[in-house]
Every structure is written in structure tokens, then in C-alpha cells.
Amino acid sequence: MPGQRLGYVRVSSFEQNPDRQLEGVAVDRLFADRASGKDVQRPQLAALLRFARDGDTVVVHSMDRLARNLDDLRALVQDLTRRGVRIEFVKEGLAFTGDDSPMATLLLSVMGAFAEFERALLRERQREGIALAKQRGVYRGRKKRLSPAEIGILRQRAQAGEPKARLAREVGISRETLYQYLRAEA
């Protein structure tokens, strides 16, 4: 019995439409993430990796949809092919089975490196845009999650010796964000 064709799509934001990625491609089951490709910590990717079995084929629109980091891309492809799962990248017209030619391995590395480079350029342009907006006085950063009164209460509780990790969890912020609030002027 042949395995299933499992589709994986990823978009970075809710405004983007994931439907176009595998339009016209027949899949038995689709896994779709709305998350950044900066790492592999994505719920539907994890579900796909748990679900895929020997003989299945994972179909992805392009390599940068699977991973934006060369090391992550290689690790995902190697993990899947080691388990007998074939992986196809539609846009690049490449498929990997684990018995790949040196040319296929080279193409995976080159295309993965381009995806990583593209992400680095995007982050650099974003930093430049923020710096220019700050110079013009129009960038204010993310809206503060806590009000000055809430920060004051947290500061008092922290000074009274309450564990900072518990305080951060309680108000739904990271410990680092809590430390930033505590360091800021009262």
C-alpha cells in the first residue's frame, strides 16, 4: 500500500493566504502553520513530523516554507528521509529520498543558503527602517503591556522577595521583560 501525500504550508502572518502554496497539488492531508520560519518551533510542523510514516511523501511549496535556516532545513530533510519519508519541493522541482545524488545534496545546500540569506536581508532592512523611524520621531516601539500602576505593584512585590519567574508568569510576560520593567525609572 503506497503511503500518503502530506502537504505542508507556512505563512508568516494572518494577512497572507496559505491556499496558493499547494494549489492544484493533490495531498491526502494538509498541515498549515501561521508562524515565522526563523526556527522549527511550529505546531503544525511538529504534528507533521509526528504523523509522517515510512512510504509517505511530504510536499512543500518551496524550501523557504519549510525552513529559513540552512541547518534546520538539512536536519528536517535528513530526519524525514532517514525514516523513509520522501520530501518534494514543488517550486524548486526537487525531491529527496535519502538516496540522493551529490548534485541534489548541493542544490539543497545552495537553495537553503539563499533562504537563510533572504531572511537575514529582511531583518537588516527591518532594523534600518526602525532606526530611520526613530530618527524622525515616529517610531514608538511596541505598546507597553503593563500600566505604570501595574509596574509599581510588580516592583513592590519583587522587592518584597516574591520570585520573579512567578511574577512574570502571573502577568503573562517573559522574565526578561519583567527585568526591563524593574530596571526602568519608576
Options 3.40.47.10, 3.40.50.1390, 3.40.1280.10, 3.30.460.80; which CATH number does 5-115 get? Answer: 3.40.50.1390
Do residues 80 and 99 make contact, with C-beta atoms less than 8 angstroms apart? no
Residue 81: what pLDDT?
Answer: 94
DSSP-derived letter for residue 38 is: S
**Active-site residue 12, yes or no?**
yes
Condensed to tens digits (0 to 9), the pLDDT of residues 45-103 reads 999 999 999 999 999 999 989 998 889 999 999 999 999 999 999 998 889 998 878 88
Strand ordering across the sheet containing 5-11:
29-34, 5-11, 57-60, 86-89, 94-96
Do residues 56 and 36 make contact, with C-beta atoms less than 8 angstroms apart? no
pLDDT band of 186, cuts 50, 70, 90: low
Taking each helix axis from N to C end, the angle separating 148-159 and 164-171, rounded to the nearest 10 degrees, works out to 160
Condensed to tens digits (0 to 9), the pLDDT of residues 12-57 reads 876 677 788 898 899 999 999 988 878 889 999 999 999 999 999 9
Residues 6+ apart with CB under 8 A from 142: none
Residue 137 has pLDDT above 80, yes or no: yes
C-alpha cell at 29: 492531508
Residue 173 has pLDDT above 70, yes or no: yes
Residue 68: what pLDDT?
Answer: 84
Q: What are phi and psi of 59, to 5 degrees?
A: -115, 125
In sequence order, the β-bridge partners of residue 96 are 87
Tell me the domain boundaries of the chain.
5-115, 148-183
Q: What is the pTM of this model?
A: 0.67
C-alpha cell at 109: 545546500
Which is higher by pLDDT, 120 or 88?
88
Cell 503511503 -> residue = 3
- Per-residue b or e along 103-113, where b marks 16 or more CB atoms closer than 10 Å to that residue's CB: eeeebbeebbe
